[in-house]
Each structure stands twice: as structure tokens, then as C-alpha cells.
Amino acid sequence: MRPYKILLFMTGILVVLAALCIVLPGRVTIGGTEVRWPTLTQVFDAQTAAKEVEIPDRLWNLDDPKEAALDTTAIVLTTDSVTPSAPSVVPPKVVVDSTTDSRIFLSRFYASLQTTDSCKVRIVHYGDSQIEEDRITQQIRETLQQRYGGSGVGLMPLLQTIPSLTVRQELRMNGRLISASQAQQGPARYLVYGPKSMQRTDGLYGAMGQVAIMADSLVPGSEEVVVVCKPQTASAHYSTWRIFADSTIHYTVSGDTVHLTGRGAIYGLSQETNTGVIVDNIPMRGCLGTTVFTKIDSTQLATFYREENVRLIILQYGGNAIPENDKPETIHGFVKSYRKQVRYLRRCAPHADILFIGPSDMVRLKDGIWQSYPMISFMDKLLRKMCLEDNIAYFSLYQYMGGAGSMLRWREQGLAGSDGIHFYRNGARKAGNAVATWLLEPLTPNH
Amino acid sequence: MRNVYLMFVSWFFYYKTSGLFVAILAFVTLSDWLIAQRIDKAKSNNPESKIAKLWLTLSVMIDLGILGYFKYAYFFTNMFNDLTGSHVTIVDKIILPAGISFYIFQVISYTADVYCRRIQPVKNILDFGFYVSFFPQLVAGPIVRAEEFVPQLYKPFHLSRRMFGLAVFWIINGLAKKIILSNYLAVNIIDRVFDYPLLFSGFENLFALFAYSLQVYADFSGYSDIAIGLALLMGFYLPMNFNSPYKSQTPQEFWRRWHMSLGRWLKTYLYIPLGGNRKISIGTYIMLTIIALVSAGLTGWWLWIMIPFAALIAAMIIVPRVMKNNTQLKLFYSNLNSFITQVLGGLWHGASWNFIIWGGINGIGMIVNKIWRELHWHVRFVLMTALTGSLIYADEATHLPAWHLFAFWALIVWIGTAIRYIYWLLTEDKEIKNQKSKISNKIAQCWAILQTFVFITFTRLFFRSSSNLDPATANEQAWETAKNMVNQIGGAWNSAMIPDFIVEYKWVVAMFIAGMIIHWLPTNWKRRYRLWFSAMPLWLMVFVVCAALVVIYQFVTADMQPFIYFQF
């Protein structure tokens, strides 16, 4: 075959393909199936970024007349067992611009940090899969404990279904090792954020949003659970075990090991100190965060927050709301739901400040090009607005990363994974350090 | 003229992908061309020339030195630091030039072929430069041995109509493999699972592992198909690189069908010089010692590695003296040298401990399979029963996912072995054991294919975990990934979520099944549709190609599979 014929053949293909570019308007539906083909403009001017979505003015307004009657009073606890709140101290000098810097809403938390010599200050970090394995929380904990004392990893579930970078857990039931992937063979687990089959109706999930129910047997001691939790980092060492469980659960502690017997609910275990800062990592895989707290019994939450002197609640959600939703109306609805959640938490923990960490940048493959999800920017801005209106501190992970398309750069630098959503460990470390630094900046001399 | 033009086009292509690393390509081209001239001269004067050997050694040292620096500097520095407790550091980041492993192997093959007098040295350096840098296969193979390609440099362009059709077929076939199977599966399931195994259930991890087996084949063979097709359009014949490898019935057969150009290269320039099945050479001792030291150094298991190593060395000394059966002696040499070749082949794929494990498992798999097939059926059944029993006991005693996985697979293999053993007993009694029925033969073949596929897929646990990693942290990260995946796969499954997974990931599952079915189609069918395509009128071919490109484009622009969690 002569070379000119080969050339003609190739030219023929190019001509047909170019003709398709002219004839087809980008995408057509044939027999119910959408067929995509680029236009000539797209061929010669490939876009690398998602188009900015126009947001109608009404969606920037989060006020809802129906919500005016929302109860904002604190939950009243009837129990006498609550410990007094931290002693009053002179608030530290917090230097932030009160008109633009949301850290002004953390002043009570900053004040509580001055009391860590004599009592414990607890921070609870709730989030989605981005904080699994103690990621991001670890850096916040280490930074705060280094400065204000305290050690230990804080709360852990009875069965660690996701390994942690800071503590290695092993659970044996009646002598048999129950690995993370064999969770079904261990004590029954209920998750407030899990599938319906794992949820319960009474809302008694505890502060971690998950509970393990031990021993269906009526004979005491017939079922024994042994949990060994070995700290993996120097800062994870602790002085005290805390077991959050029904009074029907009996336990003994020996070194890194806890023996549990009895029948009832176990809401979590904790390795901590009696003074300093304790930071709990509570990841909720796949959780939107829009309904999760209001499903937990308010008295249970309020008791925990009060007794444990929780002074800061960190919420890190939003990531799971992005992938499936390209409509600003949906995002608007989600942010309003977040507001309900933070107001509920505020009622449960009136002495605690709240910090919301927004979603990171996230990318997807759309029309053959990796690009940021179009709604992240809107959600980030609307969350900030919601936070400022509700006196909540806001850290924009999205802006910290560099805004739209920054996940691609993080991915190129080996900081984030190929799914364009989750950080690698070093990426999480970078983000965690950024949050910790930002959090403590107002307390830093010469700031 | 054609060669010179293509050489500069290739260099430009390489410059666009690897920048100034084109200088390395130019350097090895010049260095090996000059050295080959010297070797030829020395050999012409004296066929047993030691100077020629020295030139060959110098050439190999230069080539492997360059490859070693770019590919293994971190690996060996870390190992040195681990062994000595020192803190030697090298430059912050070494960027690996694209395709360096491939063109280094090509220049080594050229110099070695000249040394062995398989080819005459190329007189014109531009022709030689073309051989080294020919762009279709420059960055991903096939590895073209000088013996196969150099003679083509001097032939005039000729391409028959049928060959033209085949060239177009290979290009489109490769593109479809790469985009439809490889990229789609990678983006929508495999990369996610290998990045974060703990986010996914045991079934998803297992599915991703099998999908990876298909993906790596589609990706690599897709590149090879495109390279072969492009080269053919320019009148050059590149060797076949993949021959439906998942149809293999044994690990040995798999390696004869998988990355065939590398296999042939390793056989010609490593396995045979080590002694092949003829002898144990000094090279065998050296390589084995290096492998043992590297393994012990990296794991810290000095005792556990040095004891079998010492036993093996003792066997290497004693066996040739006491074993009188020549066939068995050949088998011993062959196993030893092929194991070393496999481990070094693993290391060629990347600088990570996991690649060594991968190579080692493949080497052991081949040896075990060879020995297994020589065993009597009674022995096979007893051994398999004992192994399965031990693994089930270990699983019951430890409840560790890894043992669970081993025990489960051993049980399946035991069932297969038991059925075949019973069949063998029955047919032997009737003295018809040599009259194998067609159906039982087919079933046995399918069973062997399935076992080989599963074995190869599980070795990939180590292969994929090591790919695309920063060399500085590759070992730790790769091991962590492999461990987490084994824990997930070997743990208890929530089988209720399997239908949900299939529904939610229907396109991913469909692509995987379609890919495997196409792969397993009979060779004759494939040949027939290739010939049908290559013979069609040109105008029709234009439209078929365009239609194929439209289909491929749908996968390029397909929306991503949303993230769905099945495990909490």
C-alpha cells in the first residue's frame, strides 16, 4: 500500500470527525441515549475549569420566617451529678478583626484554655471520612496539648472499624479476636449516620453517635469483651481510662487493657488526662451532617458536654453534600440544615463554642476534564455566611487549599488521592496543621 | 532518509515528554554505538578477545549505572541506611525519565548481540539512534531486541493492504483497551480502592483487585497494540507483546504470554547467561547472595532468611555432585535461575520492596507448579489435604484475615484437587486414564485457567500497591496498602451489600465482565474478526474507525461513578 493512500485514509478520518464536530451540537440524544461529541470550539479551546455558576440572590438569604420560633434555650439537665464548669479566669488577649474574623466567636474557648492547669478542657471534632484514622484531629490535638498540656487520644468506639494512626485497638469477645472487618461478629453496633439497619429509634447513641450493645445473655459474665488500645505516638499516652457505658456494664482496667462484662450499652472508651486539653476524633463515614445531631438524644449529649467540660465543638462536614448536587437550591437547603444542627448543638452545649470547617476542594472527571465540583465555592461562601450570622467560627479549607482546582495541585503534589476527594495522610497533616495554627493564632504573642 | 526523519521526530517526541532528559537518550545511544564498534573490532581480530568482554562490561555498567541512579538511588540509599544506621541522603527528588527502563534494555541487547556476533554493528549512528528512540515503543515497549529490529533498518518500505488493515485494527483496538477498559475501571473503582482500602468493604477490595488484573493488562497491552500498529504503518514490525495471558493454565505459561518482549529479553540476557537449565554459574551465586542480603536487610529477618539461604547454597554445591538423574538436575538449575530472573524482573518494574515480593512470589509459584505437576495423584491429594487442614487450623487459632484468606482459597483448591483425584481413581480403575474425554479435559483446562488467574491476581496486590509512588516512601506506603487490602478481603463480608454494589456500580461491573469475556474469546474468533476488519473496503474502514472513536469518546467524557459507602 502506497504512503499517499495511507495519508488519504487518515485525512478521510479527520474529515469525518471534523464533520461530526460541526453537525453535532456537543451532545445529542439518540434513542434515549445521550451521545457526546466535542464541537470544534471545544476541540481547539479545551476548558480546564468549571464554569462559575450564577447563584440567584434569594439563595444567599438563609433567613426563614418559619424558623423564627426555633427553641434556642439550653437543655436543662435534671441530674445533680454534673460537674461545675471551669473556674472563671481573666480572658486572654485575643487579637482578631471582629468585623471579618470569625475567630472572635471562640473567645469563651480561648478563655477556657487558661484553666487547663487545674481542669480538663475537651474539644470534640466531628466530621466525615476526611477525618478518619484521626487525620486532621491529630494535628489539632498535638498542637494544643503541646501548649496547654494534656495527653491521650480521647474517645474511641468499642470496636475500631477504621484503624487509627494514633492508637491501635484490638477487641476480643469471649477470647475470640474480632477484627475491624468482622465487626458483625462482635457486639451489636448502632450508628446514627449508618444505614437504616444500623440505626435505633430511641436516639441513645451517645456523644460519638455510635453505640455497642453488649451481652444479650441474661447470665452476668457469660460474655466478656477485652479491649487493648496501644498508643502509637508519644502524645497518645495517657493517665486515665474513661468508659462511657450503662451502669450495668462492669469493667476493670489494667494498663492498656479493659475487661468489660455485663449487659448494656457502651458509648465509647477514652484514654485521657485529668487536666490539659483532650481532643476527640469522631469520624462519620459518608455522613452529610445535616441531620445527624438532632437524631441523638439531647439529654445524653447535653450531659456529656457538660460533664466533660466540652468547650469547643468542631464540625467538619459538607464534602458528602457536593458530589451528587449541582443545584444551588440543594446546597442552600443543606446549609440551612447545618444551621439547625449547630443550633441544636448550641442548646446541648451552651458553654461551648463552635467551629465549622468547610469542605475541601473536590474534583471530578467531567466531559473528559478533571474539574472542581461547581457547587463547592457556593457552599463555602454560604457556610461562612451562616456561621457569621450564628456566631460560629469558620475555617475555609477550600480557600486554604487555593480555591477552585486546587485539589488537582494537591493531587499532583502527592497530598491527595486519585478520587479527587480525600487527602492522603501527608495532605491531611498539612490541612490539620493549618487548622491548628489558625486556631491558636489569636493567642500567639505578636500576632 | 526515513530513518533519520523518524529519529528526529522521536527525539522531539521524547523532548516534549521528558525535556532535557533527551540528553541521556543521546548519551546512551552514542556510548553504546561507539562501544559496539570497539567490541566488533576486537572480536574481528580475536573471537575470544578479553578486550571485547571488557568493553561489554563497561557498556553494561554505564547503562545499568544510569538506570540504577534514576530508578534505584532512593531504594539502595534507604537500604544502606537501614543496614548501617547511617543517614546518607541523596538529592531531594529524582525525576524518572520516561521509558528509561525500556531504552536501556534495548541498548544493552544491541551491545550484547554484537558481542555474541548475532548481528553486525550498525554503521551509521543515525540508524542506531533511530533503533533506540523509535517513538511508538520508546516509553512503554515492546522491548525490541537489536537482533529483531536492526535488519529492518536496511529494508525498503513495504506495507501490504492486509497489513495496513491490521495496523489500523491494532491502533483502534489498543485505544479501546486503554480508554474503555483501563481508564474507566481505574478512575471509577481501582484507584479509589487502592488509595483508601479501608473505605471499602471486603467484596469491593476483591473486585478492585480482579478489575486491576484486567486494567493492567488492558493498559499495557493497549499501549503495545498502538505501538505495533503505528510501527506497522511506517513499515516496521514490532514483536507481539501479549498473547491473551489470562488464558494461561500455569504460571509458566502466563509469563510466556505476558509482556513477552521483556520475558524474551530476560531469558536471553539474564536467565541463559546465569546458566539456564545447564548449570549454576558464578552469576547465580552472586545474584542469590545479593537477593538474600537485600531481603534480610530490608526486613531485618536475618535468621529467617540466612538459614534457608545457607541451605540453598549447600544444596547448590551438593546436589550437582550427588544427583545422577540429568533431567532432575536440569530442573534444579532451571528452577534456581528462573527464580532469580523473576525476582530481578520484579525489581526492574520498580524500586520497592513490594516489587521484589511480587517477583519472588511469581518465581516460587512457577517452581511449585512445576514440581506439583510432576507429583503422583496420591501425593498431591495428601499434600493438599495437609496444607488445607493446617491453614484452616491457623485461621481458627488466630482469626487473622490473612489466614482466613489463605484457608478459604486452599479449601477451594482442595475441592478441585479432590474431584480430580476421585476422577483419576475411577478412570485408572477402568484402565482408560489415557483416553481423556473432551469434556473433562475442558473442565480441567478451565479450572487451571481460573487458578492461574487468581494466583496472578493476588500477586498483583503487591505490584499495584507499589506503582506510582514516591520512591522515598514507596516501601512503607505499598506495604500498608497491601496489608489493609488483605485485612479487608480476608475479613468477614457483609454479603447483603453485594447486590447493592452491583446495582450501584453496574457500568463498572459490566465493563469488567465484558472485558474478561472478550479476553477469553477463542483465538480463532479473534483472528477471524481481525482479518474481516483488515479486508474491508477503505471507505467502510474510515466509517468503522470513526464510529469506534465516537464510542471511545463516550468513555473519555463519561461521568464519574459517584462515591458510595457500603461499609461503616
Concatenating the DSSP letter of every residue in B178-219 gives IIIIIIHHIIIIIHHHHH-GGGS-HHHHHHHHHHHHHHHHHH
pLDDT above 70 for A68: no
pLDDT above 70 for B479: yes
Amino acid (1-letter code) at residue A29: T
Distance CA B361, CA B146 (A): 31
Q: Are residues A133 and A159 in the same domain?
A: no
Q: How many CB atoms lie within 10 A of CB A151?
A: 23
Q: Are residues A169 and A257 in the same domain?
A: yes
Could you tell me which residues are beta bridge partners of residue A122?
A: A278, A310
Q: Residue A321 sits in a domain of what CATH number?
A: 3.40.50.1110
pLDDT above 80 for A89: no
Contacts 24+ apart (CB under 8 A), B448-455: B448/B249, B448/B250, B449/B246, B449/B247, B449/B248, B449/B249, B451/B413, B451/B416, B452/B246, B452/B248, B452/B249, B452/B250, B452/B251, B452/B253, B452/B254, B453/B213, B453/B246, B454/B409, B455/B251, B455/B365
Phi, psi of B207 (to 5 degrees): -60, -45
What does the pLDDT read at residue A92?
62
Out of B195, B564, B568, name the one closest to residue A191 (CB): B568
Phi, psi of A211 (to 5 degrees): -140, 145
CA distance B32 to chain A (A): 33
Q: Are residues A70 and A145 in the same domain?
A: yes
What does the pLDDT read at residue A47?
59
Taking a C-beta distance cutoff of 8 angstroms, is the pair B227, B506 a contact?
A: no
Q: How many CB pairs under 8 A join A and B?
A: 123
Q: Using CA atoms in the order A100, A106, A108, A114, what is the torsion angle rounded to 10 degrees?
A: -110
Distance CA B452, CA B416 (A): 13
The alpha carbon of residue B230 and the mean position of all alpha carbons in its chain are separated, in whole angstroms, by 23
CA distance A83 to chain B (A): 34
Distance CA A182, CA A178 (A): 6
Q: Are residues A10 and A33 in the same domain?
A: yes
Q: Are residues A138 and A202 in the same domain?
A: no
The alpha carbon of residue B61 and the mean position of all alpha carbons in its chain are separated, in whole angstroms, by 24
Q: Last residue of some domain: A225, A247, A272?
A: A272
Is the confidence metric ipTM above 0.90 for this complex? no
Q: What is the pLDDT of residues B324-374, one digit of tens each?
A: 888 888 888 999 999 999 998 888 887 677 788 889 999 999 999 999 988
B192/A16 touch (CB, cutoff 8 Å), yes or no: no
Q: Higher model confidence: residue B18 or residue B256?
A: B256
Mean pLDDT of B270-275: 92
Domain that includes residue A132, residue range: 56-150+275-447
Q: Are residues A120 and A169 in the same domain?
A: no
Q: Higher model confidence: residue A324 or residue A415?
A: A415
Q: Higher model confidence: residue B488 or residue B248?
A: B248
Q: What is the pLDDT of residues A317-350, one digit of tens each?
A: 999 999 878 889 999 999 999 999 999 999 999 9
Please state whether A133 falls in left (phi above 0), alpha (psi between -120 and 50) or beta: left
| Exposure class string for B307-329: b at 16+ Cβ within 10 A, else e | eebeeeeeebeeeeeeeeeeeeb
Q: Higher model confidence: residue B428 or residue B282?
A: B282
Residue A60 domain-assigned (yes or no): yes
Q: Give yes or no for A437 touching B (CB within 8 A).
A: no
Taking a C-beta distance cutoff of 8 angstroms, is the pair B116, B238 a contact?
A: no
Q: B residues 187-226 near A, CB within 8 Å?
A: 187, 191-192, 195-196, 198-199, 201-202
Report how far apart, in Å, the C-alpha atoms of A413 and of each of A417, A430, B414, B470 are.
10, 12, 47, 10
Q: Last residue of some domain: A272, A288, A322?
A: A272
Q: B residues 446-505 near A, CB within 8 Å?
A: 470, 484, 487-488, 490-494
Residue A51 domain-assigned (yes or no): no
Q: What is the pLDDT of residues B66-82, one digit of tens each?
A: 988 888 787 777 777 77
Please state whether B239 falls in left (phi above 0), alpha (psi between -120 and 50) or beta: beta
B159 vs A contacts (CB less than 8 Å): 1, 6
Return the top range by mean pLDDT from A160-164, A293-297, B297-301: A293-297
Residue A375 domain-assigned (yes or no): yes
**pLDDT range class, residue A24, cuts 50, 70, 90:** confident
Q: Higher model confidence: residue A179 or residue A207?
A: A207
**pLDDT range class, residue A205, cuts 50, 70, 90:** very high
Taking a C-beta distance cutoff of 8 angstroms, is the pair B75, B351 a contact?
A: yes
Nearest CA in chain B to A287: B565
What does the pLDDT read at residue B220?
92
B487/A179 touch (CB, cutoff 8 Å), yes or no: yes
B378 is catalytic: no
Nearest CA in chain A to B537: A9
Q: What is the pLDDT of residues A212-222, one digit of tens each?
A: 998 655 455 55
Residue A385 domain-assigned (yes or no): yes
CA distance B535 to chain A (A): 13
A183/B492 touch (CB, cutoff 8 Å), yes or no: yes
For an interface test with B, the pick among A28, A39, A410, A419 (most B C-beta atoms closer than 10 Å) comes out as A419
Distance CA A359, CA A376 (A): 7
Q: Give yes or no for B58 touching A (CB within 8 A).
A: no
Closest CA to A416 of A370, A356, A384, A385: A370
Residue A208 domain-assigned (yes or no): yes
Distance CA A142, CA A136 (A): 10
Taking a C-beta distance cutoff of 8 angstroms, is the pair B174, B207 a contact?
A: no
Q: How many CB atoms lie within 10 A of CB A44?
A: 9
Q: How many CB atoms lie within 10 A of CB A338?
A: 28
What does the pLDDT read at residue B525?
95
Q: Are residues A128 and A233 in the same domain?
A: no
Number of domains in chain A: 3
Model-wide pTM > 0.90: no
Q: Are residues A196 and A135 in the same domain?
A: no
Residue A225 domain-assigned (yes or no): yes
Taking a C-beta distance cutoff of 8 angstroms, is the pair B511, B180 a contact?
A: yes
Q: Are residues A21 and A105 in the same domain?
A: no
Q: Are residues A268 and A285 in the same domain?
A: no
Residue A67 domain-assigned (yes or no): yes
The label of the residue with cell 461545675 reads: A84
DSSP track, A202-271:
S---TTTTEEEEE---SSTTSSEEEEEEEE-SGGG--SEEEEEE-TTEEEEEETTEEEEEESEEEEEEEE
Among the listed residues B87, B158, B259, B349, the single catalytic one is: B349
Mean pLDDT of A238-245: 90
DSSP track, A16-85:
HHHHHHHHS-SEEEETTEEEE---HHHHHS---SPPPPP--GGGG----GGGGG---SPPPP--S-PPPP
Question: In chain B, what is the straight-line distance between the N-terminal and C-terminal CA atoms, in Å?
Answer: 65
What does the pLDDT read at residue A80?
46
Q: A residues 66-105 near B, CB within 8 Å?
A: none
Distance CA B367, CA B336 (A): 9
Q: What is the pLDDT of residues B495-539, one digit of tens each?
A: 778 898 899 899 999 999 999 999 999 999 999 999 999 999 999
Q: Are residues A144 and A160 in the same domain?
A: no
- DSSP 8-state secondary structure symbol assigned to residue A360: P
CA distance B455 to chain A (A): 23
Assigned C-alpha cell, A142:
498535638
Mean pLDDT of B555-563: 76
Q: Give yes or no for B561 touching A (CB within 8 A).
A: no
A191 vs B contacts (CB less than 8 Å): 568
Out of B191, B400, B492, name the one closest to residue A419 (CB): B191
Across chain A, which distance is largest between two alpha carbons, in Å? Answer: 97
Percent of chain B whose predicted confidence (pLDDT) is above 90: 48
Distance CA B256, CA A206 (A): 59
A165 vs B contacts (CB less than 8 Å): none
CA angle B149, B152, B156 (to 5 degrees): 160
Q: Are residues A355 and A337 in the same domain?
A: yes
B400/A184 touch (CB, cutoff 8 Å), yes or no: no
Mean pLDDT of A44-60: 71
Distance CA B52, CA B44 (A): 10
B491/A180 touch (CB, cutoff 8 Å), yes or no: yes
Q: Give yes or no for B157 touching A (CB within 8 A).
A: yes
The label of the residue with cell 448550641 reads: A346
A182/B160 touch (CB, cutoff 8 Å), yes or no: no
Q: Last residue of some domain: A272, A297, A313?
A: A272
Total number of residues shown for chain B: 568
pLDDT above 60 for B471: no
